[in-house]
Structures are given as structure tokens and as C-alpha cells.
Amino acid sequence: MSEEMTETQEQRAVGKERPAERARAAPAGPPTAVVVRHHVPGQPRVSRRAVLRIGFWTSLGAAISGATASGVSLLYPRRVSGFGGRVVVNAENIPPPGGKVQVPEGRFWLVNLTEEQGGPGLLALWWKCTHLGCTVPWRPTFVWPDPASGALKQGWFRCPCHGSTYTDAGIRVYGPAPRPLDTMELTVAGGNVIVDTAKVTKGGLDNAERAVRT
Ligand code: FES
């Protein structure tokens, strides 16, 4: 046998050595993952930029819609009921002449004044003391001289904090309070009383004259 290799034998020998040579030539380091995107035939290609753009405009549209809705809500506020809004006292809950009823929902006393008390008519007295704001209760058994006649009278609005005392019409007769109790706007409709607790008039000696006849 000849020691010389033919050209074909030499090529085969080189081919066998290639994988080993490639392995020696490869750089050392962690394996690298290669992501191959597959496109499903028949479906449109959507780029990442297009997705981001759609998301941006959708978010912007939602923000504008929310702001517009808030603006419209401010322009057309919902009707407020309870304290700060209108309170309805049904006909069956209106006190008889000379009587009074506490309406916690509106923080007022609904009083039905007789002629002797300065009426006749209905008055809504804000129960907040004009001295320092304590809630003023009706004291049916409390006796105090009536400045109008000088005679003792039973039944007064009397503040538990510092003793300010008010008549049935909320007129101050004693104590540190600087003025009579404040009144709220009152109207009568269909036999019911409607008190607008947002419309307050400062208490004065003319409280009883504001009484509304039914
Ligand atoms: Fe009513 Fe002072 S808070 S008398």
C-alpha cells in the first residue's frame, strides 16, 4: 500500500475532523436561547409598536371620557337631601299648635307656634346654639321667668353647655348666646312641610314673624 493518500481520502479525513475543530473554536459561556417568531399563515402581522399605539389611544380616550363625565356631573349636581339639602316632614309628623318635633335628618326643630308664642305658623329652628354650637334640646319641665310678662313659665329651649335659654320661637332670653336661634327656609306643599337646610337666616327678634301658616 502506498503511504501517500489520494485526494479523496484526504478530503474525507478533513471532514471527520471538522466537528471537533468547531467545538474547540466555539467561545466559552452560557448557552444562548434563540427565539424564532412564528407567523400563523392567514393572520395579519401586528407589530409591537402598533399594539403600544392602540393601548395609548385607548387609555387617553378613557381618561377624556372620565373627565367629561365628571364635568357634566359638576354642572348638573344631584339633588341633596338631609342636612345641607331639602328635608320633607310628612303631614302626619307635623306637630299640633304649641308643639314641636325634633328632625335629626335636618338638624332642626319644627315648631308650630300659637298666637301667644308669636305665631301662628310653622318655624324651622336650626338646633345649633348661637354661642358655641352645642345642640339645643327642648326642656319641657324647665321653669324660667318670661321676660315678656315677668311670670314664671315652664318649657324652654335650653343649651346644656352654658345655659343659653330660648323661647318657643328660638328668641334668646338668657345666657351667653349673642342672638336667637337661626331659622331655615320652610315651605308647605300638599300638606307636607319642606325645609331647605341650606337656606339659613340668622336668628333675630323677628323669628316668630317668619312662621309659615299651613
Ligand atoms: Fe350654648 Fe354655650 S354653646 S350656651
User: What spacing in Å lies between the alpha carbon of 104 and ligand 1's midpoint?
Assistant: 19
50 located within any domain? no
Q: Is 135 touching ligand 1 by the criterion CB < 6 Å? A: no
What is the CATH number for 148?
A: 2.102.10.10
Question: Mind listing the pLDDT tens digit for each residue in 146-178?
Answer: 988 899 999 999 999 999 999 999 999 999 999
159 located within any domain? yes
Average pLDDT of 40-59?
Answer: 70
Q: Is 162 touching ligand 1 by the criterion CB < 6 Å? A: yes
The SS3 call for residue 107 is coil
Q: Grid coordinates representing 194?
A: 319642606
12 located within any domain? no
Q: Which atom number of ligand 1 is nearest to the Cα of residue 175? A: 4
Give the type of residue at 178: P
Q: What's the number of domains the chain is made of?
A: 1
| Boundaries of domain holding 179 | 86-205
186 located within any domain? yes
Among 111, 107, 147, which residue's Cα sits nearest to residue 127? 107
User: What spacing in Å lies between the alpha carbon of 123 and ligand 1's midpoint?
Assistant: 21
170 located within any domain? yes
144 located within any domain? yes
Q: Grid coordinates representing 84?
A: 345641607
Q: Is 164 touching ligand 1 by the criterion CB < 6 Å? A: yes
Q: How far apart are CA 123 and CA 108, in angstroms?
A: 10
Question: Mind listing the pLDDT tens digit for each residue in 7-40?
Answer: 555 555 444 545 444 445 445 555 555 555 555 5
Q: ω into residue 120 within 30 of 0, thus cis? A: yes
For residue 193, the cross-strand partners are 89, 188
Neighbours of 100 (CB within 10 A): 18
